[in-house]
Amino acid sequence: MAVVVTALVGGVAVAGLGAAVLTMLLGAFAGQQDCLSSSSGATSIVLGPPGTGQRVGASEYGGPGDPSSGITGARGDNLIQHPDSYAELGGLTWQTATEMGGLSYMAPLRITWTSRSAIAYKRDFGHGGGPVAGLPRVIDLWWQLAGRLGIPYENGLWSGAVQIERPPAAGAGNVLGQAALVADPLASGAGATAPAGCAAGSLGGVPLTPGPRARLLPGGLAAAPQGAPLAVKQIIAAGNQIVGRPYLLGGGHGAPLSEVVPTYDCSSSVEHLLYGARLLPVTYGAASSELESFGQAGPGAWVTLYANADHVFMYVAGLRWDTHNAAGPGDGSSGIGWHPLVRSSAGFVARHPVGL
């Protein structure tokens, strides 16, 4: 198990502050929208507007100036492949590094520095150190995450104040359609719209693209067709929330579909997307075999599920949602997410949501 020890150790952070910080983290999200701008290259970090939350002391670790930290998280994650990572500080084990109350592995946080924010996930822990700018030092930012936020790289020696908060619940139905609409210059045709305050070409956190098909973006996210029904955009928004999550048989089952969880399997991931459009109840958690009777028989105009007793995948506006690279070379990563190629549907039952 890897242990992160920052270059700014100098004493364990003030004890007794973790519970107060955790109370803050579990508070209500302050209404900021997740207006996505797709990241470039291999990075999975997506920037948004500044958030709210608690100001805390943060430090930076990793990178060429801090080789002692390595590139492996405490659960074996390759942090170069998962640059949207942070470490909770306070100790040398999962049980003692609890300066934010002892967050679970893969717990998401919105982290804000100046005018930028990003959602990051707990993949590490560390010893930490004394206060930063009079604030308890509770979090270590992986150097690529810090750089994406605009924090200058200082060879693993940077420290400063950031704001942290828990992101909103995963249900994409609350992400869409809640902002005033302004003209979207990237969409085809007159009268196209996107929320005020968001980047052009997005709708409440969902990137939009002209034409009738969804489009795979750099970093693995999907853009929804501008003219697609709202439910299709909600499904794509929900998928973008969990792109790249690890596959685990049984993962995601037993948790409400309104939550983002560390791992998913085929059926739980498909159900998360369908819940994004409120096509399933929040407590739904069936196996793939039960999805053989979902909705109506046959392919849909926008959404088609292919299910059998062993697996389920689906197409949303022409882009495949699947848990593995089933269509051969050129079909994207091996993880859960959007895949560009068509795979064989032999042995599967085709179903579609009513009206889609």
pLDDT computed for residue 168 by the predictor: 59
Domain span holding position 192: 172-352
pLDDT computed for residue 330 by the predictor: 83
CB 25 within 8 A of CB 108: no
Q: For residue 232, tell me if it sits in a domain.
A: yes
pLDDT of 253 > 90? The answer is yes
Q: Are residues 180 and 224 in the same domain?
A: yes
In this prediction, residues 296-317 reach a mean pLDDT of: 96
Mean residue pLDDT of the chain comes to: 78
pLDDT of 185 > 80? The answer is no
In this prediction, residues 312-339 reach a mean pLDDT of: 89
pLDDT of 7 > 70? The answer is no
Q: Which of residues 118, 143, 165 is at a domain's end?
A: 165
pLDDT of 36 > 70? The answer is no
pLDDT computed for residue 21 by the predictor: 46
pLDDT of 55 > 70? The answer is yes
How many whole angstroms from its chain centre is CA 233? 16
Q: Are residues 246 and 118 in the same domain?
A: no
Give the CATH number for residue 33. Answer: 2.40.40.10
> Six-digit token pair at 248?
């685990």
Q: Which of residues 108, 133, 165 is at a domain's end?
A: 165
Q: Are residues 294 and 207 in the same domain?
A: yes
In this prediction, residues 142-157 reach a mean pLDDT of: 92
Q: Looking at the 3D structure of the chain, how many domains does it have?
A: 2
State what percent of residues in the chain have pLDDT above 70: 77
Confidence of residue 81 (pLDDT cuts 50, 70, 90): confident
C-alpha 314/C-alpha 59 separation (Å) is 42
Top-confidence range, 63-77, 250-264, 309-323, 329-343: 309-323
In this prediction, residues 270-286 reach a mean pLDDT of: 93
In this prediction, residues 267-289 reach a mean pLDDT of: 93
Q: For residue 285, tell me if it sits in a domain.
A: yes
pLDDT computed for residue 184 by the predictor: 26
CB 242 within 8 A of CB 224: no
Confidence of residue 280 (pLDDT cuts 50, 70, 90): very high
C-alpha 73/C-alpha 76 separation (Å) is 5
DSSP 211: S
| Helix (H) or strand (E) run with residue 24 in it | helix 18-25
pLDDT computed for residue 44 by the predictor: 61
Query: Lowest-pLDDT range, 15-19, 118-122, 227-231, 325-329?
Result: 15-19
pLDDT computed for residue 35 by the predictor: 31
pLDDT of 183 > 50? The answer is no
C-alpha 323/C-alpha 311 separation (Å) is 9
Please give the full DSSP string across 213-280, using - where no structure is assigned.
S-EEPTTS-EEEETTS-HHHHHHHHHHHHHTTPPB-TTTTTTS-TTS--S-B-HHHHHHHHHHHTT-S
pLDDT of 173 > 60? The answer is no
pLDDT computed for residue 203 by the predictor: 38
| Helix (H) or strand (E) run with residue 202 in it | strand 202-203
C-alpha 128/C-alpha 115 separation (Å) is 25
pTM greater than 0.85? no
Q: For residue 12, tell me if it sits in a domain.
A: no
In this prediction, residues 182-206 reach a mean pLDDT of: 33
Q: Are residues 263 and 141 in the same domain?
A: no
Please give the full DSSP string across 40-100, using - where no structure is assigned.
PTT----EES---SEEEEEEEE-STT-GGG-SB-TTS-BTTT--SEEEEESSSSTTT--TT
pLDDT computed for residue 52 by the predictor: 81
CB 223 within 8 A of CB 260: no
Q: Are residues 153 and 278 in the same domain?
A: no
Query: Lowest-pLDDT range, 113-122, 191-200, 332-341?
Result: 191-200
Rounded (10°) angle between helices 266-276 and 230-242: 140
C-alpha 228/C-alpha 60 separation (Å) is 42
Please give the full DSSP string across 295-307, using - where no structure is assigned.
SEES--SSEEEEE
In this prediction, residues 277-304 reach a mean pLDDT of: 94
